Structure 1
Amino acid sequence: MTEDLTHLRSRVWFDRTDAAGFFHRTHLKSQGHLKEMFEGRPVVGIANSASQLVPCNSHLTELAEWVARGVLEAGGFPLIFPTMSIGDSLMRPSGMMYRNLMSMELEELIRGNPIDGVVLLTGCDNTGPAYAMGAASVDLPTIIVHAGPMMSGNFRGKQVGSGTDMYKLYDDTRSGLAPVDAFAEAEFGMSRSIGVCNTMGTASTMGAVLEALGMSLPGSSGIPAPDARKKSAAQLSGRRIVDLIRQNLRMSQLATRAAFENAIRVNAAIGGGTNTTVHLLALAGRLGLDLTLDDIEANSRGIPLLANILPNGEYLMEEFYNAGGLPALMKSMQAHLNLNALTVSGQTIAEVIAPAEIFDDRVIAAFDTPFKTQPALAVLRGNLAPDGAIIKATAASPHLLQHRGKAVVFESIEDMDARIDRPDLDVSAGSVLVLKNIGPRSYPGAPELGNIKVPRKLLDQGVTDVLRISDGRMSGTAFGTVVLQIAPETAIGGPIALVEEGDEIELDLENRTLTLHVAPEVLDQRRARWQPTVAVAERGYRSLFVNHVLQADQGLDFDFLRGGSGSAPSQRRPY
């Protein structure tokens, strides 16, 4: 029986006998590709986001070669191509601002080239979501290979985790509890190898969440970057993508509504970062799925914390993988998953997790004996956040989850930097710190500045956490009682823009409310006086971003990118 390959996009390029077909083939043959590569083999695009400017992704070029090996073994034609890369360790003002640009680049590279399916090599925070969004817009067979976490950090004989322990040590340095030279020395011990942050920050969270969505081979996302098994996973992904192409099993057939519900519930169980919400909302939007913050709240409720990983717990990603990893955690919560959801492995979730086992219950808990009972993320609403806000409850101080206090207001990040450590700052342990104008349009890009520093005045008093509120985001490695992604944001006149010094603000986690206790008529008077914030974005991509970015409750995607564009090759040839 002859295999039906009529659905292969690459045939439009390579099955021609005219000048266009000649040009398409001859230029690829200049690299040494054999004649049979063009005779009906599925063409696999291997999207490589490696960059020395993005240390988390620096090793992906080697992984790309292992993917290519697997593609060849399965009878495919691998073609590696680079894209831009975005990393939050160096890029200003925010890696998030460039997520949509990276997704657009990938989308157009896939659509404009003879690619039948893609393997996406992802790593640092926003690269996974960017690639997933770009691929979703085209909707071809797709597999994601995550970079994997770096080795566990070690400093002065103690294990330290990416980001989380840096924030703690920084506060200790500011308060005089740790010497300044210790803070500098810790740089060498915290990041000891290739890979993404070794805590359950945004990068590791999104690797796990996209695997739970069905887009990575089972257990592969959590393999540490230096582990030889990461190369094996890449090779197996290369083999598997060829099968997916032959079956014409596209991304939209895997990333279904049921799969998104699984991903949301797994995010709650692993204590995933707050950035997960905007990424899942944006990805669902590209796939044409009606996913909202209310869906995230509904599917997170009732799911306790099962992963004892920083910043919610005490261990790191390497221990999580060794304890059984994501399949073991998902087996622990299987009664709360859509088990018939299909994965790129060809197996259902039920089949994937059947052989899984928890090897260390100090790291991964049984569902009935969780580490914490509340879900990682909670969606808040109220007159201060009519379109929603997010809090990571598992990383917050329990005594602040029901709290009412007076606002200490910072109109901008510059205002905060100038005043936060002044001894005359009128602040107490019961205050609510409010930082405005770090939202998607105002900064721009909603930077990870929402975990406002605890004022030096309070640190000196032994206070390590206060309620903090902003329209921005925070790193997935961060912790504290921090309300984020308030929508609408300050720049477009959201209620947060009207908050003034001394106003009383109340957080009620149990009822999921965030309330500004100011009379409606007073708010109306303030709104009449309010002047919009003008973002500095006069040209280029920044101008595009400011003018078209949606609010956090819609995933911070561009308004013109909702929905997909399909995978049909253009019939307009270049020759």
Structure 2
Amino acid sequence: MTDENATGLARGLTNYGDRDFSIYLRNSFAASMGYSREVLKKPIVGIANSFSGFNNCHRHFPEMVEHVKRGVLLGGGLPIEFPTISLGEVFLSPTSLKFRNLMAMDTEEMIRAQPMDAVVLMGGCDKTVPAQLMGAASADLPAVQLVAGPMMTSRYGEERLGACTDCRRYWGKYRAGEVSREEINDIEGRLATTAGTCAVMGTASTMACIAEVLGMSLPGTAAIPAVHSDRLRAAEASGMAAARMIRDPIRPSQVITPKSVENAIRVLLALGGSTNAVIHLTAVAGRLGIPVSLQRLNALSDETPVLVNLKPVGRNYMEDFFFAGGVGAVLRELKPLLHLDTVSVTGETLGDRLEKDPGHVDRRVIAAAAQPLEPQGGLIALFGNLAPRGAILKRSAADRSLFEKEGRAVVFASLEDLAERVDDPELDIEPDDIMVLQNAGPKSASGMPEAGYLPIPKKLSSKGVKDMIRISDARMSGTAFGTIVLHVAPEAAIGGTLALVRTGDRIRLSVREKRIELLVDDDELDERRSAWKSDLVPPEARRGYDRIYAAEVLQADEGCDFALLQPVADG
């Protein structure tokens, strides 16, 4: 048997120049872990476990992993758990996105380097699922994505609370003087009270749904609450599915296809899901050479209705979505718009799945396609001289009165400048102005943080201003809301038009035309461009991962992946 056709511990041998010695030595060391000779002959399912004490979302993974192992054993495989980097969203500096590609590299290389025939990917917190899908797509070994599941809601008085839309809503009230210091301290301890990811349709839940629609997760598993016993049964079933794929391999490249990616975009739009998902889905698809066109996103958005009534767009939470019918119910409403011949890790097509009994659907949470919450999708891409390669607006979470508007730019040159001046009583700003943040994109010193949700200046929020047009090359949390233009490409740090905006310039936003224009004539822009200088520290003046990141990170419309991680063309 050649190494390429080997299974189990005979796969991917350490090279000592003597294949038989390699097997002998590996078996010897494996025996030290208590495995019997018979067990060592079994095919292996690796379990990529991203548990960490710095990741509250994954607090329940030690229990979940035992159920994955049980499923693998029931399926006839040998489960072997291995750790990878974990990305706890709020515990990373400068921002978790900077380390998504590092986790993807870790996942890919450990799948390749260690002897396994299939893998279960355990992730959940915002960047962990895209990182694992990116790594698995590049390694192209049979893989099943198992997500953490959302946390349950809590209470403050008679009101339900759930991280993290309510975090932002109450913080806005606190900044406006509507909530006292004592109240905000009390609320702080009630927002996130169980294991699991954010309780709303933020980035984590959006990516969980996308993983299911792509076919990389088992049907019906995206929305199961983290603390529900069904989450443990999903873990067991995922282990069994991975073991089954050893006998009948289904690789990520067979699951993640142009058709399944388009299905995922449809569902993203119908969910009113996170803007971050555009970047992540682009990166995942890009690992297999599948482009995600922002023009195509707009075409799909114009014909895909918003169906899901969840925060931050609506009023409900992920636990309500689960009990209302989950991803399956959304897929059935979108069925006429979907590619039904896509295949999941179960081996069945999407069409086969949707033929099964749909079960209960709660129309208060998941609307019928004939009576949607909104007739068009939740996200659109904007183009124009301010964003030649595109920008993203979550129109389902925005104020419609601001959709067609021209205003005066008030510019903040960096996050530091924003923090220093935004609450200055002397700041020259009015409610009809447009806030602009520069130098917060992927190549900037800040690494494209979730800073696009610029705070309303206190001099305005204290007078009742709830929303303004805000523009940046940053991201925003999937739990956030407002009329916020994000992911402007090219970014300011590399000399994109955003870098040339000055306070007092006029900017026009048109959601109808999907345009974002800086109303400055070309000659003036050329003059400003010739005077612009980069203040980025060059890659050669950096070290370690920071150097790789600075040299290789791509723009938002390319998924912010690394250029060196893109597929290599044949020949």
Contact 1:45 1:118 in 2 (8 A): yes
Q: What residue number does 1:126 align with?
A: 127
1:399 to 387, 398, 401: 401
Q: What residue number does 2:339 align with?
A: 338
Query: How far apart in 1 are the matches of 2:7 and 2:260?
Result: 26
Structure 1 residues 261 and 10: alpha-carbon distance in aligned structure 2, compared to 1, 3 A threshold: farther
Contact 1:14 1:38 in 2 (8 A): no
Q: Deviations over 1:320-361 (max 9, x none)?
A: 000011101111111111111111122211222332234310
Contact 2:10 2:23 in 1 (8 A): no
- What are the residue-to-residue correspondences of 1:506-545 with 2, within 5 Å? 506-535=508-537, 538-545=542-549
Aligned to 1:446, the other structure's residue is in SS state coil
Q: Deviations over 1:170-204 (max 9, x none)?
A: 11111111111111111221111000000100000
Aligned to 1:291, the other structure's residue is in SS state coil
- What are the residue-to-residue correspondences of 1:56-71 with 2, within 5 Å? 56-71=57-72
Query: How far apart in 2 are the matches of 1:143 and 1:266?
Result: 20
Contact 2:122 2:148 in 1 (8 A): yes
1:360 to 349, 359, 362: 362
Contact 2:165 2:312 in 1 (8 A): yes
Q: Which moved more, 1:342-351 or 1:413-422?
A: 342-351
One-letter code aligned to 1:518: V
1:551 to 549, 555, 566: 555
Contact 2:500 2:528 in 1 (8 A): yes
Q: What residue number does 1:114 align with?
A: 115
Q: What residue number does 1:505 align with?
A: 507
Q: Which moved more, 1:22-31 or 1:556-565?
A: 556-565
Q: Which moved more, 1:17-26 or 1:443-452?
A: 17-26
Q: What residue number does 1:211 align with?
A: 212
Query: How far apart in 2 are the matches of 1:33 and 1:301?
Result: 57
Q: Deviations over 1:131-185 (max 9, x none)?
A: 1001111101110000000001321220122121111111111111111111111
Q: Which moved more, 1:316-325 or 1:294-303?
A: 294-303
Contact 2:9 2:26 in 1 (8 A): no
Contact 2:413 2:438 in 1 (8 A): yes
Contact 1:7 1:248 in 2 (8 A): no
Does 2:101 correspond to 1:100? yes
Query: How far apart in 2 are the matches of 1:473 and 1:57?
Result: 23
Contact 2:456 2:466 in 1 (8 A): yes
Q: What residue number does 2:306 align with?
A: 305
Give the superposition deviation at 1:37. 2.5
One-letter code aligned to 1:29: A
Give the superposition deviation at 1:443. 2.6
Aligned to 1:451, the other structure's residue is in SS state coil
Q: What residue number does 1:139 align with?
A: 140
Q: What residue number does 2:250 align with?
A: 249
Contact 2:445 2:536 in 1 (8 A): no
Q: Deviations over 1:257-308 (max 9, x none)?
A: 1100110000011111000111111111111223322233333331111110
Q: Which moved more, 1:358-367 or 1:133-142?
A: 358-367
Q: What residue number does 1:447 align with?
A: 449
One-letter code aligned to 1:429: P
**Once superposed, which parts of structure 1, at least 4 consecutive aligned residues long, lie more than 4 Å away?**
13-17
Query: How far apart in 2 are the matches of 1:395 and 1:251?
Result: 33
Does 2:10 correspond to 1:11? yes
Give the superposition deviation at 1:245. 1.9
Query: How far apart in 2 are the matches of 1:357 and 1:300?
Result: 28
One-letter code aligned to 2:161: V
Contact 2:152 2:162 in 1 (8 A): no
Q: What residue number does 1:459 align with?
A: 461
Contact 2:301 2:376 in 1 (8 A): no
Query: How far apart in 1 are the matches of 2:96 and 2:202?
Result: 14
Aligned to 1:301, the other structure's residue is in SS state helix
- What are the residue-to-residue correspondences of 1:423-502 with 2, within 5 Å? 423-502=425-504
Query: How far apart in 1 are the matches of 2:351 and 2:525?
Result: 52
Q: What residue number does 1:149 align with?
A: 150
Contact 2:383 2:516 in 1 (8 A): yes
Give the superposition deviation at 1:42. 2.2
Structure 1 residues 7 and 564: alpha-carbon distance in aligned structure 2, compared to 1, 3 A threshold: farther
Query: How far apart in 2 are the matches of 1:296 and 1:135?
Result: 25
Query: How far apart in 2 are the matches of 1:373 and 1:89?
Result: 34
Structure 1 residues 10 and 252: alpha-carbon distance in aligned structure 2, compared to 1, 3 A threshold: farther
Q: What residue number does 2:199 align with?
A: 198
Q: Which moved more, 1:175-184 or 1:13-22?
A: 13-22
Count how many residue pairs are aligned between Structure 1 and Structure 2.
561
Q: Deviations over 1:60-107 (max 9, x none)?
A: 222111111100111011110001101211111100000000010111
Query: How far apart in 2 are the matches of 1:60 and 1:217?
Result: 18
Aligned to 2:435, the other structure's residue is in SS state strand
Q: What residue number does 2:415 align with?
A: 413
Aligned to 2:80, the other structure's residue is in SS state strand
- What are the residue-to-residue correspondences of 1:355-394 with 2, within 5 Å? 355-394=357-396
Query: How far apart in 1 are the matches of 2:297 and 2:110?
Result: 32
Query: How far apart in 2 are the matches of 1:237 and 1:437?
Result: 42
Q: What residue number does 1:563 align with?
A: 567
TM-score, normalised relative to structure 1: 0.95
Q: What residue number does 1:572 align with?
A: none
Give the superposition deviation at 1:25. 1.2
Does 2:324 correspond to 1:320? no
Contact 2:250 2:347 in 1 (8 A): no
Contact 1:161 1:310 in 2 (8 A): no
**Gapped regions of structure 2 (runs ≥ 5):** none
Give the superposition deviation at 1:536. 8.1
Give the superposition deviation at 1:31. 1.4
Query: How far apart in 2 are the matches of 1:23 and 1:105?
Result: 25
One-letter code aligned to 1:509: V
Structure 1 residues 112 and 565: alpha-carbon distance in aligned structure 2, compared to 1, 3 A threshold: farther
Structure 1 residues 463 and 260: alpha-carbon distance in aligned structure 2, compared to 1, 3 A threshold: same
Contact 1:200 1:476 in 2 (8 A): yes
Q: What residue number does 1:275 align with?
A: 276
Query: How far apart in 2 are the matches of 1:295 and 1:37?
Result: 50
Give the superposition deviation at 1:7. 6.2
Give the superposition deviation at 1:318. 0.2
Query: How far apart in 2 are the matches of 1:501 and 1:13?
Result: 59
Query: How far apart in 1 are the matches of 2:476 and 2:423?
Result: 20
RMSD: 1.7
Contact 2:8 2:40 in 1 (8 A): no
Structure 1 residues 23 and 564: alpha-carbon distance in aligned structure 2, compared to 1, 3 A threshold: farther
Query: How far apart in 2 are the matches of 1:114 and 1:327?
Result: 35
One-letter code aligned to 1:163: C
Aligned to 1:189, the other structure's residue is in SS state coil
Structure 1 residues 426 and 135: alpha-carbon distance in aligned structure 2, compared to 1, 3 A threshold: same
- What are the residue-to-residue correspondences of 1:16-31 with 2, within 5 Å? 18-31=20-33
Aligned to 1:326, the other structure's residue is in SS state helix
One-letter code aligned to 2:11: V
Q: Which moved more, 1:7-16 or 1:282-291?
A: 7-16
Query: How far apart in 2 are the matches of 1:513 and 1:38?
Result: 60
Give the superposition deviation at 1:561. 0.4
**Gapped regions of structure 1 (runs ≥ 5):** 567-575
Contact 1:42 1:246 in 2 (8 A): no
Contact 2:117 2:142 in 1 (8 A): yes
